[in-house]
C-alpha cells in the first residue's frame, strides 16, 4: 500500500453537532471537549444557537519519519481527536504589548501563558474566510474530475427510478453530487516565526506546518483581562470544538515574508483542501 501524502479525519464532535442540528433533539453540549475547557477560556459558556464551523488552527506534529533516507508519512488522525497533536498559536505577544483591537478581531482562543519566565498572550485560532454566501450543489464527473455547479435539482426525482447495479450490487454512475461550502485559510510566515521564536527559542526547523484543524464554535462578546490590571470587551469563541483534523508532510514557514492562502472545501461528506 502506498502511503498518502496527507490524511484527513472528521471527528465525532463534528458528527454530534451535525446530527443535533438537523434532528431537532435537545442539544448535548459537552463542555469538557472544547478548547475553552482545555485553555480555561469561558469553559462553561453555552451557546444560544448551534455552533458553526468558523475557525482554523495549525500544528507542527503531523507526520513521522520512517527511516533516515527522508522517507516520512503523515499520522492518521482519530475521530476521537479533540485538538491537534502539537498546536501552535498564530500570535504570541508579550503581556504588555498585546495586539490591537483590529488585529484581535481575526483571532480566537486568547490564552495567557508563562513561557521562559515571561508572560505572553497566545491566540490559538484564526477565523475562516468563508467565500460562498450559500452552500453550492456540485456535480463531479468521476471519469475526469471536472466539476460544474448546479443551480437546481431535478424535481423528477420526487418520483425516483432505481439505478442500474453491477453483478456485485454496486450502483453504476459516472457522476457524483455533493453539497459544498468553500472557505480560505491564510497562514503567514510572520505568524509562525513569531510563535517559534517564543515557544522553541527560535529553532526554525520547527517552522513546518504539518497539521491543520477546522473548528466549530460561536462568537460571543466577553470581558477579558489585559494582564496588567485592566479589563476590556472582546469577541471570543465559545464551545469551540475540533471538526476536522488534517495532517501532511509539512510546509516550511520559516520565511517571515511567506503568505499562504489555502482553499478549503467542506462538503456533505467531509472536508478537503484544494
- pTM, rounded to two decimals: 0.89
Q: Report DSSP letters for 112-145, one per residue.
A: EEEETTEEEEEEEEEE-EE--SS-EEEEEETTT-
Model confidence pLDDT, tens digit, residues 151-179: 888 899 899 888 776 655 555 667 778 78
Q: Is there a contact between 137 and 177 (Cβ–Cβ < 8 Å)?
A: yes
Mean pLDDT value of segment 203-229: 94
pLDDT score of 18 = 87
Residues 187-197 have pLDDT tens digits of: 999 999 999 99
Give the Cα separation of 235 and 105 in Å (integer). Answer: 7
Give residues with Cβ within 8 angstroms of 171, minimum separation 6: 163, 164, 165
Asked if pLDDT for residue 88 goes beyond 60, the answer is yes
- Other Cβ atoms within 10 Å of 80 Cβ, number: 10
The pLDDT, as a whole number, for residue 274 is: 54
High-pLDDT (> 90) share of the chain, %: 63
State pLDDT tens for residues 36-55: 999 999 999 998 888 999 99
Instruction: Produce one character per residue of 91-114: b if its CB has 16 or more CB atoms within 10 Å, e if not.
Output: bbbebeebbeeeebeebbbbbeee
Write down the pLDDT at residue 173: 67
Average pLDDT over residues 71-96: 95
Residue range 138-158: mean pLDDT, rounded:
85
Could you tell me how far CA 49 lies from the centroid of its own chain? 20
pLDDT grade for 211, boundaries at 50, 70 and 90: very high
Q: Kindly tell me the burial class for residue 50, based on how many C-beta atoms sit within 10 Å of its own C-beta (0-12, 13-18, 19 or more).
A: middle
Work out whether the CA dihedral 210, 215, 221, 223 comes out positive or negative: negative
DSSP-assigned letter for residue 225: E
Q: What average pLDDT does the chain have?
A: 89
How many other CB atoms are there within 10 angstroms of residue 249's CB atom? Answer: 15
**Top-confidence residue, 156 or 108:** 108
Amino acid at each position: 500500500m502506498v502511503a498518502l501524502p496527507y490524511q484527513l479525519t472528521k471527528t465525532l464532535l463534528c458528527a454530534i453537532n451535525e446530527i443535533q442540528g438537523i434532528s431537532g433533539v435537545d442539544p448535548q453540549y459537552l463542555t469538557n471537549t472544547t478548547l475553552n475547557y482545555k485553555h480555561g477560556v469561558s469553559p462553561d459558556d453555552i451557546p444560544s444557537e448551534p455552533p458553526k464551523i468558523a475557525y482554523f488552527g495549525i500544528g507542527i506534529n503531523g507526520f513521522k519519519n520512517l527511516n533516515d533516507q527522508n522517507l516520512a508519512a503523515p499520522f492518521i488522525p482519530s475521530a476521537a481527536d479533540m485538538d491537534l497533536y502539537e498546536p501552535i498559536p498564530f500570535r504570541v505577544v508579550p503581556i504588555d504589548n498585546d495586539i490591537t483591537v483590529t488585529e484581535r478581531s481575526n483571532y480566537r482562543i486568547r490564552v495567557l501563558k508563562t513561557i521562559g519566565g515571561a508572560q505572553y498572550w497566545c491566540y490559538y485560532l484564526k477565523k475562516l474566510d468563508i467565500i460562498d454566501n450559500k452552500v453550492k450543489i456540485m456535480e463531479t464527473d468521476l471519469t475526469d474530475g471536472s466539476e460544474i455547479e448546479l443551480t437546481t435539482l431535478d424535481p423528477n426525482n420526487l418520483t425516483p427510478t432505481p439505478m442500474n447495479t453491477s453483478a456485485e450490487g454496486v450502483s453504476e454512475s459516472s457522476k457524483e453530487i455533493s453539497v459544498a461550502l468553500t472557505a480560505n485559510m491564510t497562514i503567514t510566515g510572520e505568524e509562525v516565526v513569531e510563535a517559534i521564536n517564543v515557544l522553541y527559542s527560535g529553532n526554525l526547523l520547527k517552522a513546518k506546518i504539518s497539521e491543520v484543524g477546522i473548528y466549530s464554535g460561536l462568537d460571543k462578546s466577553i470581558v477579558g483581562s489585559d494582564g496588567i490590571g485592566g479589563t476590556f470587551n472582546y469577541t471570543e469563541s465559545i464551545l469551540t470544538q475540533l471538526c476536522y483534523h488534517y495532517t501532511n508532510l509539512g510546509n516550511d514557514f520559516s520565511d517571515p515574508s511567506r503568505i499562504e492562502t489555502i482553499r478549503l472545501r467542506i462538503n456533505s461528506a467531509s472536508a478537503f483542501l484544494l
